[in-house]
Structures are given as structure tokens and as C-alpha cells.
Amino acid sequence: MPTQQPRTLNIAMVSETWPPEINGVANTLHHWVEALLERGHRVQLIRPRQAADDGAPRPSRNPRFYERLVPSVPLLSYPGLHFGMPAGRLLRQTWTQFAPDLVFIGTEGPLGNSALHTAKRMGLPAVTGFHTRFDYYSRHYRLGWFEPAIRAHLRRFHNRADATFVPTRELAELLARQGFHKARVISRSVDIHLFDPARRDADLRATWGASKTTPVVLYVGRLAPEKNIELAIRAYRAMQTRIPELRFVLVGSGPLEQPLKQANPDLIFAGLRTAEDLARHYASGDLFLFPSLSETFGNVVIEALASGLGIVAYDYAAAHEHLRHNENGLLAAPNDETAFIHQAVSLADQPALLERLRQQARATVFELDCARIAVRLESLFLEYARPADASVLERHHAPVRSSDTG
């Protein structure tokens, strides 16, 4: 018998960040939308108006993709980003016309809250994504006293949804201990055709003052307090004592960029890089340091794996999920800065170990290829979508275990 094709869904997606904004949430949701469109589904994106919009959404090349913009306010701590204002009336009008089978809400701001409330009032299935540890971020912006209140808000928000998609089993289990009841695991994907060791560029390395044999240390991410970049720099300085010709390239921007430049004039600040240019920077490095402890996942870890780099990271989030110590990377216990620095020095000081880890790194991520993750994502969306006859708007699900990986 021929295989029955999955039904086509109308999916309403709500997010307060979207490309060309550069962050893990925007990138992840964009990849999800592309995957869903490729599999024949219709997606309506509702997002805040950005500076790049000039009063209108950017035209789509895909007839199954629609955008609606809502008023926005700039986010002070993240220049260039906007959060959306509540838009209940617009959402009701839009969803009455679009008739979504499922609402996915990717962010927990005013627009996300408005979307969840509206979906519930309209009897639409609604799932959320847990993408950012805003509760932990408060520690790095002198708002640690506010952390319990932020976590309580996140817990109330996500527990109102039919399910919350999280990127790792570790995070699902942590959230369950904190009273989040409906976590489902959907791993992040990586474009293994974009992030590829074959993009290594000798000319780019030469601009860094690196020869073919000079080890290059790489950091990719926002230059901000929550990323713990000072630890990466201390690790690099310790590595330099063994290999003076070492180079350190930081890719990204943020509020710490100028202070770091002033304090470390010998470091190479490459600024924001995207697409093939970003992939070329990854592939042209050798060692990747990821000292952050504020991640929900950390997409850069799997991008570095796909690019064939030797990685040193704390044993949590993406690194906990996808690195095996001394096989495809080196891990340190969370918050053990001495161990992190020791692992970095050890990797720099052992070329044979570095080469072995780099050879194993790329093999790790083939199971995370975008096409494979798209199948899992589609199956979850189909599971929570309203029934095909659209006559029943309520679905009842058995309780979801935090360890559910599908």
C-alpha cells in the first residue's frame, strides 16, 4: 500500500525576534519555518515590526508563507531588537481568517503572552518554545534578586500551553524539577552543508597572522556579560604560555566589544558574520572555547562540531547533549573555571589529541541535519494540531514525561 502523506497544516507562529536579527532564537525559528514550508505546510508568522521593515513586511518568495506585523518597542539591553506589544484583537481577526490548526509561540514577551491568551480563548491548540534562560540572565545584569519572579512568570506562561518544546533532555528534566509540567524534546538542527571543514580559508587565516600550522582559537557569540567571555580570555592567556604564536578570534558583537578591545588589543575581533562568511570563519579556526553557563542550548556548539573544531565547553546544554569527553571534545564541570582552563591548555598542548577530536567532531552532527530534525518537528506539530475535521477544537493529551525524546 502507498505510504499516506501527513496532512497539510495551517501553522500560526508567533515570535518577538526574526532575521535579520542575529540570535539563536531567530535562527532556530527561521530554520523551523523553512523546514515546515518545505514539507508542504502553510505558516503565518506574527512578529514585531523591525527597523528593516520600513513600514511593511518583507515580501515572501514562498506562497505558503505569510507575515503580519504588530507594533513594537526597542529592547534597551539589546540594541536593534524589538519586543512586540499585546495584539489580541489583531490576532483574533487574523486567526479567524487563517484558521490555524496549531499556534506555536516562540517567545514569552508581551506579544507571546497575548498570543497564548488569545489562542486559549479561541480554543486553538497552543505550544510554546523555551529558548532563553531569562531567569539566569538576570544574574548578569545586576537583577539577580528578580530571578525567582522571572522564573515564576516563565512557569505560569509555559504551563498554560499544551506543550513546551525544549532542545535537550537535561533542560526538560531541570524544568520538571522547577514545576514546568509539559516539556517535549526537539533537538536543534545544524546545516551540515553550510558548516563544513571544507570551507577552511588560508587567505582568511593569513589576515589573522596565522600560517598553515598556527593554532587559532575561536569564540562565536554575543559579546555580553552572560556569555562569560572573560573566562575564555583567561584560558587563552594560559594557552599562550605554552604556544606563544597562538591567535584568538572572536566573532560577534555586543556591549562588551569595546571594553574587551581596549583591554586586549592583541585579540582579533571579527564582528558579526553570517551565512557562508560565518561558516568560513568557523572552518578556519582550530580550537573552540565556549565558556557560557547561561544557555538554553548553544547552537554554536553544534556549528563548531559540524565545522570540525576541537571544543572545550562546560558539561551542560548542547555540550552535555552532544559532546563525549575525550572523544569529540573536552568538558569541564559547570562553574569549575580551573578545570575549564586546564582542558583548554591540555588541548592546545597536545596536537595529536586536537587532531583526533577534530576528526570525530563532524561525525557527531549528521543525526542533527536539518532534514532529520524537520521530520521530528513535523510529527510533534501533527500530534498537537486540532483534528483534521476541524469540528473539535479541544484535544486531550496524556501527561508528558520530561524525558520524552520521541
Instruction: Specify burial of residue 396 (Cβ count, 10 A radius: 0-12, 13-18, 19+).
Output: exposed
H or E stretch covering 342: helix 337-348
**What tens digit of pLDDT does each residue of 56-83 get?**
556 667 889 999 988 877 766 555 566 6
Residue 164, phi then psi, degrees to nearest 5: -125, 120
CATH superfamily of 197-367: Glycogen Phosphorylase B; (3.40.50.2000)
Average pLDDT, the chain: 87
pTM, whole model, 2 decimals?
0.82
- Looking at the chain, the domain(s) classified CATH 3.40.50.2000 span 10-189+369-384, 197-367
**What tens digit of pLDDT does each residue of 257-293 get?**
999 999 999 999 999 999 999 999 999 999 999 999 8
* Structural class in CATH, domain 10-189+369-384: alpha beta
Residue 301 pLDDT greater than 70, yes or no:
yes
H or E stretch covering 220: strand 216-220
Q: Strand 216-220 relative to strand 10-14: parallel, antiparallel, unpaired?
A: unpaired
**What tens digit of pLDDT does each residue of 321-356 get?**
999 999 999 999 999 999 999 999 999 999 999 999
